[in-house]
Amino acid sequence: MDGDRRGWRLCSLSGAVFAVCMAGTTLPTPLYGLYQEKFGFSELTVTVVYAVYAFGVIGVLLLTGNASDTVGRRPALLWGLGFAAASAVCFLCATGLGWLYVGRLLSGVSAGLFTGAATAYVMDLAPSGGAARATFVATAANMGGLGCGPLLAGVLAQYAPWPLYLPFAVHLALVACSAAVLLRLPETVGERRPLRSVRPQRPQLPTQVRAVFGPAAIAAFVGFALFGVFTSVSPAFLAQSLNVTNHAVSGLVVALAFFASTAGQLAVGRIGVGRSLPLGCATLFAGLALLAGALRWDLLSLVVLSAVVGGAGQGLAFRGALSAVAEASPAGRRAAVISTLFVVAYTGISVPVIGVGVLVGPVGLEGAGLIFIVCMGVLVSAAGVYLLRRPVPVRT
């Protein structure tokens, strides 16, 4: 019993470190409007600054996605915290647009190092037989941390001094505390090898995975694209179209999407993988429809509803996609296939978001958003119909 209690304490501490790192990746979300005023850049630039983060994540997933299996969990996570701290320093020192690009890129590298390693570490530290509960800890830490970032920054920017500095100073302090905690946690990788042993991972798609991977990847792509648009341009829409200039409210709306995603991911255990993917696609479509209504009629209530419904759909679809792809993959190539799915998902955070930014100039923010919604709606509808006709096989 004492061993189990200690195991869950260590598991929870590692989850807290995970949450701190992920919070840093969404911290700038409610602050982009302030940066626009300070540096005088366009909405397209906002989306590019945001998307640079995804390029950092993808690069790490492809080059060193398996690093923690080789060098150990703690060294990989300490490097991740180091990049998170460097990102915060860039935002603290920002005197021009270049600092924002570098800060977002370093934030992406940090997230890329943490996403797989921290999830594995939480699972490693859990007591025997606690896989389901450990999955809950990892999911809550990941998505909960992403949600806490804009909420923390929004509240501090609205109600505390130095709105472009204090959020990053607070996060820097949290990162330092997390490093101290991490140094006291045990290493769980028994046979560690030097960093030079890490090899780049090529995206792989074995023949038996392709039928499942296609619709699963589309659902993941659309879910992450919805998150990308929400976190990059929703504060601008709230300010320009709804006259909501309260940074705390902007941060809360974005945070709701991530918290709803956590709930959606946790619901997969009860719903089942076979049903969660098509249901996730349908819920994503509903979230997109609500967002279209919010853009068309300028209603804050529909923005909030689209965040909650779309976030829940993203959680259902992504965890269902991840489970389905992992189930269909050969054991020896599972990690490479999952990395490929993450690459597709994070492409969804970057490419469509930049597309929205490009369209803002000629058609305006609302028009660009509606074009995005139509394109994503077609994709997720096609994936949903395919999954209804050819359900994901589930092992019993």
Residues 227 and 343 in one domain: yes
Full residue range of the structural domain in which residue 149 is found: 1-185
In a domain, 197, yes or no: no
In a domain, 157, yes or no: yes
40: region left, alpha or beta (phi > 0 left; psi from -120 to 50 alpha): left
Residues 288-299: pLDDT tens digits? Answer: 999 999 999 999
Of the residues 185, 215, 243, the one at which a domain ends: 185
Intra-chain end-to-end CA distance of the chain, in Å: 31
Position of tokens 């390693």? 117
Of the residues 185, 213, 243, the one at which a domain ends: 185
Residues 128 and 262 in one domain: no
Residues 377 and 272 in one domain: yes
In a domain, 191, yes or no: no
Of the residues 128, 150, 185, the one at which a domain ends: 185
Residues 354 and 302 in one domain: yes
Count Cβ atoms within 10 A of the Cβ of residue 3 and give its class: 0-12 exposed, 13-18 middle, 19 or more buried.
exposed
Question: Which CATH number goes with the domain that contains 172?
Answer: 1.20.1250.20
Residue 143 pLDDT more than 70? yes
Mean pLDDT is lowest, of 71-85, 123-137, 196-210, for 196-210
Distance (Å, whole) CA 264 – CA 201: 30
Rounded mean pLDDT, 110-114:
92
Residues 210 and 173 in one domain: no
396 pLDDT tier (thresholds 50, 70, 90): very low
Residues 297 and 369 in one domain: yes
Residue 250 pLDDT more than 90? yes
Q: How many CB atoms lie within 10 A of CB 128?
A: 8
The predicted structure's pLDDT at residue 394: 59
Residues 164-222: pLDDT tens digits? Answer: 999 999 999 999 999 999 999 999 887 777 766 667 776 768 888 888 888 889 999 99
2 pLDDT tier (thresholds 50, 70, 90): low
Residue 185: HSE in the Cβ half-sphere, 13 Å Cα cutoff:
32
Residues 125 and 240 in one domain: no
Rounded mean pLDDT, 259-277:
89
In a domain, 288, yes or no: yes
In a domain, 190, yes or no: no
In a domain, 23, yes or no: yes
In a domain, 145, yes or no: yes
Residues 25 and 154 in one domain: yes
Residues 82 and 119 in one domain: yes
Residues 131 and 101 in one domain: yes
Residues 151 and 14 in one domain: yes
Distance (Å, whole) CA 170 – CA 283: 36
Domain count, the chain: 2
Which residue would you say has higher pLDDT here, 80 or 212? 80
pTM of the model as a whole: 0.92
Q: What is the DSSP string of 304-362?
A: HHHHHHHHHHHHHHHHHHHHHHHHHS-GGGHHHHHHHHHHHHHHHHHHHHHHHHHHHHH
Which residue would you say has higher pLDDT here, 177 or 331? 177
In a domain, 192, yes or no: no
Residues 178 and 209 in one domain: no
